[in-house]
Structure 1
Amino acid sequence: MVKNSTVESLTISIVIPVYNGGEKFKRCLQSLTKTSLNPDEVIVVADGDTDGSWLLAKDFGAKVIRLPKSGGPARARNLGAKAAKGDILFFIDADVEVYPDTIEKVVTVFRNEPNLSALIGSYDDAPGADNFLSQYRNLFHHYTHQTSQEEASTFWGACGAVRREVFLNVGGFDEKYRLPCIEDIELGYRLKKAGYQIGLRKNIFVKHLKEWRPISMLKADFFYRALPWTALILRDRQLNNDLNLQYSSRLSVLLVYAKIGALMAAPWLSQTSIIACIFALAFLALNAPVYQFFHNKRGLLFALRSIPWHWLYYFYSGLAFAIGFVRHWLQVKLTYRQA
């Protein structure tokens, strides 16, 4: 329970880390000038940028903290949080636009729910980049948030707010994550472990402007998300039925690898090709709500195009978990031998 003084009149500080934000960062700042409730301050941490993003932020009236060398978003957010004066720290990424009512909704939630320590919002269903992969990736993210439970187990740096006193109590983001990674998820785990409540508020939206391409998406998902997230799960021994870790997602991974195994065995056991088809149909049935969502939002062709990418997503997610598990096992074994 927070102190009564913070419940009666809450102030809010926006914290944005930026590294060469370009036009997307400009759109982010422009969106903050059109809100129904003005933030008490906007703090931009220019993380070693070379494109003049810090000057753009100054032009928009933001308080700018300029770093000579990039240290990663975790460090940048921590520096912004320490300089902030608001009761609520609202972290957004430099490549998102807030809705006119986003800030007002964040403050209202904290005012009405004094026991809530942190909240995360959702990407909207109208991503800024119009190429297929960006639409697919961000719509899938939107779907995941909209179908997850409202009592969250992780935090989210693209659209996440936390009471400042709580954030400082748990030590902020872990600065060992030097790249955009899972520093927000790790913070969420520590918040939950400390007994703080995190809420997913599905009606609080931001628009993601990032343009995804195959290589950038696979690199980010595999190396910056799946592998470190696996290490975090194994470190904390915490596998929650939430967001990307729902039981349906875990079963989807098993079905993908079961199908691959059956197909590999087909040259020696012809009947396994039929078993592979059964696994494929089970996967499609399990994920039918996702494809129905894509169909409703973007049509039949879009839904059909999403299927191979969806298969690939579960393939490399499972591969990353397997690699992460082996790494963890070897590390534990090595530590045991050295003890």
Structure 2
Amino acid sequence: MSDPLVSVVVPMYNDRPTIDLCLRSVREQTYPRIEVIVVDDASTDGCAEIAAGHPVELVRVRENGGPGASRNEGVRRSRGEIVFFLDADLTMHPEAVAQAVALFEENPTYGAVFGIPDKEPLFEEGPVGQYRILQYHYWRKSAEGLVSGGFYALGAVRRSAFMEAGWFNTALRQTEEIDHAERLAARWPMLLTSRIRGRLSDENRMRPLLRKAFVRSRLRVPFYFDRGRAMQGMETGGRAVASALGGLAVAALPFGPLHPAAFAVSLAALTGSVLADLGQYRFVLRERGLLFGAFFTGAQALVNTAVVAGLAAGLAQYAASARFRRMYEPRGSLA
């Protein structure tokens, strides 16, 4: 293909702190043929007014429908042979779109190419935000290559591949990406690559981060049962062991005052959790040193606990609810 039109679709919901930088990064792309569609998902913080100041097609919906519905609407409004999804809390490097087009030209069989955010955050972050950005970067960087999971916050999809896979399931609010990517990967290879880069502003408070980890883990249970496997790439056996041991380390800790052996169990479990995903901790030590490495280890243990608790809750709900078991089954039009 020769300079195909690329449609950049930006789903937006209450992203006032980042939307201006996000859209500036789109304007600074080196690739010449781009259209931009911003879908405002009933925001209440004035971010739509900021987006309107950029050369974009701004679509404003009346009721919040979630990121899947916003991405669907952006695709409907787009004309490009390639759709580049960019979340409003991200910026992309100037060559990101050009790299996506080049990857499709080099590999005509690819249906999607997803990018990897930098290890540096979009803004200066507190310790929780720094933890999240480093963890997010490392897990994706270590999974670079062919994947079955979708990273639609920063990535491009051939329109033909998207239409074959079908629309995002708007009934799914936290796991619409893994559902869509599984359908897409069944037909087309998908690549996770550091040739497409950006910068991310992510959650910087622990309580919302733990809530998100719990909910997403719970909602993945019927997905795993339906597919019979984890997602290719980031979800490795070592990380499953690390999550289980991290959860055990936190769960055993409160029993220490009752029985000293609980402290030994907690320490042994935490050590095993670190060893099971050792590359991640080496990376953090190289980047930020020992003191932050200790904080990172504790934060990861808490997140692992939330993941394990979410899986346990999901298993209980799976056993009790037929509706929950069928949540990934198509129901008529997904759009």
Cα RMSD, aligned residues only: 2.5
Q: Does residue 94 of structure 2 align to residue 100 of structure 1?
A: yes
Q: Secondary structure at the match of 2:100?
A: helix
Decide which of 221, 227, 251 is 1:236's aligned counterpart: 227
User: Aligned equivalents of 2:145 and 2:170: distance in 1?
Assistant: 28
- Structure 2: any 5+ residue segments left out of the alignment? 326-335
Aligned to 2:218: 227
User: Aligned equivalents of 2:297 and 2:185: distance in 1?
Assistant: 34
In the alignment, residue 177 of structure 2 is paired with which amino acid?
D
Q: Secondary structure at the match of 1:305?
A: helix
Q: Secondary structure at the match of 2:18?
A: helix
Q: Does residue 179 of structure 2 align to residue 186 of structure 1?
A: yes
Decide which of 151, 155, 165 is 2:150's aligned counterpart: 155
Q: What is the CA distance between 1:309 and its match in structure 2?
A: 0.7
In the alignment, residue 126 of structure 1 is paired with which amino acid?
E
Question: Equivalences for 1:257-336 in 2 at 5 Å?
Answer: 257-259=247-249, 274=264, 276-332=266-322
User: Aligned equivalents of 1:113 and 1:301: distance in 2?
Assistant: 43
Q: What is the CA distance between 1:75 and its match in structure 2?
A: 0.7
TM-score, normalised with respect to structure 2: 0.88
User: Aligned equivalents of 1:321 and 1:136: distance in 2?
Assistant: 23
Q: What is the CA distance between 1:71 and its match in structure 2?
A: 1.3
Q: What is the CA distance between 1:31 and its match in structure 2?
A: 1.2
Question: Equivalences for 1:160-171 in 2 at 5 Å?
Answer: 160-171=155-166
Q: What is the CA distance between 1:183 and its match in structure 2?
A: 1.1
Per the alignment, do residues 267 and 65 of structure 1 end up closer, same or farther by CA in structure 2, a change over 3 Å counting? closer
Decide which of 177, 183, 193 is 1:201's aligned counterpart: 193
In the alignment, residue 227 of structure 1 is paired with which amino acid?
R
Number of residue-to-residue matches in the alignment: 324
Q: Secondary structure at the match of 1:316?
A: helix
- Structure 1: any 5+ residue segments left out of the alignment? 1-6
Once the two structures are superposed, what CA deviation does each residue of 1:78-104 show, in whole Å capped at 9, x if it has no partner?
011011111111101011111111111
Once the two structures are superposed, what CA deviation does each residue of 1:248-300 show, in whole Å capped at 9, x if it has no partner?
11111232355467768889987675455433322232333222211211222
User: Aligned equivalents of 1:8 and 1:83: distance in 2?
Assistant: 22
Q: Is the 1:16–1:92 Cα contact (8 Å) retained in structure 2?
A: yes
Identity percentage of aligned residues: 25
Question: Equivalences for 1:40-59 in 2 at 5 Å?
Answer: 40-59=34-53
Q: Secondary structure at the match of 1:13?
A: strand
Once the two structures are superposed, what CA deviation does each residue of 1:89-129 show, in whole Å capped at 9, x if it has no partner?
11010111111111111111111110000121111111123
Which shifted more, 147-156 or 283-292?
283-292
Once the two structures are superposed, what CA deviation does each residue of 1:288-320 show, in whole Å capped at 9, x if it has no partner?
322221121122211111111111111111111
Aligned to 1:66: 60
Q: Does residue 209 of structure 2 align to residue 217 of structure 1?
A: yes
TM-score, normalised with respect to structure 1: 0.87
User: Aligned equivalents of 2:150 and 2:205: distance in 1?
Assistant: 25
User: Aligned equivalents of 1:185 and 1:23: distance in 2?
Assistant: 27
Q: What is the CA distance between 1:214 and its match in structure 2?
A: 1.6
Q: Is the 1:234–1:325 Cα contact (8 Å) retained in structure 2?
A: no
Q: Secondary structure at the match of 2:310?
A: helix
Q: Does residue 22 of structure 2 align to residue 22 of structure 1?
A: no
